[in-house]
Chain A
Amino acid sequence: MRRDGAPALGQFAHNLREAPRRLREAAVRGGRPTTDRTRSTFVFNNVFLHLHAVRTHRWSLRWTTTAGLGIASVAAFLITLVTGILLMFYYKPYPDVAYDSMKDIHFVVPTGRFVRNLHRWAANVMVVAVILHMARTFYTAAYRAPREFNWLVGMALLVTTLGLSFTGYLLPWDQLAYWAITIGANIAQSPREVTDALGVTQAFDPGGLQRLLLLGSDTVGEEALIRFYLLHVILLPLIAGMLMAVHIWRIRKDGGLAKPPDVDARLGDPPPATYPVFTEAPTKTYHLAAIVRGRTPAVGGGPENTVPSMPHLFYAEAAVLMLTLLICMALSLVSDAPLKELANPLVPENPAKAPWYFLGLQELVAFSAFMGGIGIPTIVLVGLGLIPFLDREQAGTGVWFGGPGGWPLVRNSIAVGFAAALILESFAIQFGWLREWVPGIPQLVITAVNPGTVLTFVYAAYSLWLVRLFNSARAGALGLFTCFLCGFVVLTVIGTYFRGPNWQFYWSPADWPVH
Chain B
Amino acid sequence: MTVTPGHPRSRLDPEPVPRRDFLGLLSFWTMATTLLFATLGMLRMPRAAVLPSPSKKFRVAIPEALPPGEAYVPPGRTTAIFRDAQGTYAISIVCTHLGCIVKPTPDGFECPCHGSVFARDGAVVRGPAPQPLSWIKVEAGGGTVVVDEAATVAAGTKVTA
**Which size class do A's interface residues fall under?**
35 or more
- Verify B51–A367 contact, CB threshold 8 A: no
28 A-B residue pairs with Cβ-Cβ distance under 8 Å, sorted by A, are A182-B98, A182-B99, A183-B100, A183-B113, A185-B99, A187-B98, A190-B98, A196-B130, A216-B46, A216-B48, A217-B51, A217-B52, A218-B53, A221-B53, A348-B113, A350-B113, A351-B113, A366-B114, A368-B130, A369-B98, A369-B130, A435-B124, A443-B131, A446-B128, A501-B112, A502-B111, A502-B112, A502-B115
- Verify A217–B128 contact, CB threshold 8 A: no
- Verify A182–B100 contact, CB threshold 8 A: yes
From B51, B52, B53, B128, give the contact of A366 (CB < 8 A). Answer: B128
- Verify A348–B100 contact, CB threshold 8 A: yes
Closest B residue to A444 using CB positions: B130
Query: Shortest Cβ distance from B104 into chain A, in angstroms?
Result: 13
Query: Shortest Cβ distance from B98 into chain A, in angstroms?
Result: 4
- Verify A346–B124 contact, CB threshold 8 A: no
- Measured in the bound complex, the distance between the Cα atoms of B5 and A245 in whole Å is 47
- Verify B52–A365 contact, CB threshold 8 A: no
- Measured in the bound complex, the distance between the Cα atoms of B115 and A117 in whole Å is 33
3 residue pairs, one from A and one from B, having the closest CB atoms = A350-B112, A186-B98, A366-B114
| Chain A residue contacts of B130, Cβ below 8 A | 193, 196-197, 368-369, 443, 446-447
- Verify A212–B128 contact, CB threshold 8 A: no
Q: Give residues 125-142 of B contacting A (CB, 8 Å).
A: 125-128, 130-131
A179 touching B53 in the complex, CB below 8 Å, given contacts A185-B99, A365-B128, A369-B98:
no
Interface residue ranges, A against B (CB under 8 Å): 179, 182-183, 185-187, 190, 193, 196-197, 209, 212-213, 216-219, 221-223, 227, 291, 345-352, 365-369, 432, 435-436, 439, 443, 446-447, 501-504
Closest B residue to A433 using CB positions: B128
Tally of chain B residues near chain A (CB < 8 A): 27
- Verify A503–B115 contact, CB threshold 8 A: yes
- Measured in the bound complex, the distance between the Cα atoms of B52 and A179 in whole Å is 20
Indicate whether B19 reaches chain A with its CB closer than 8 angstroms: no
Query: Shortest Cβ distance from A88 into chain B, in angstroms?
Result: 22
| Chain A residue contacts of B131, Cβ below 8 A | 196, 443
| Chain A residue contacts of B85, Cβ below 8 A | none
| Chain B residue contacts of A351, Cβ below 8 A | 112-113
- Measured in the bound complex, the distance between the Cα atoms of B51 and A348 in whole Å is 23
- Verify A217–B48 contact, CB threshold 8 A: yes
Closest B residue to A515 using CB positions: B112
Query: Shortest Cβ distance from A186 into chain B, in angstroms?
Result: 4
- Verify B97–A369 contact, CB threshold 8 A: yes
| Chain A residue contacts of B12, Cβ below 8 A | 291
Query: Shortest Cβ distance from B46 into chain A, in angstroms?
Result: 6
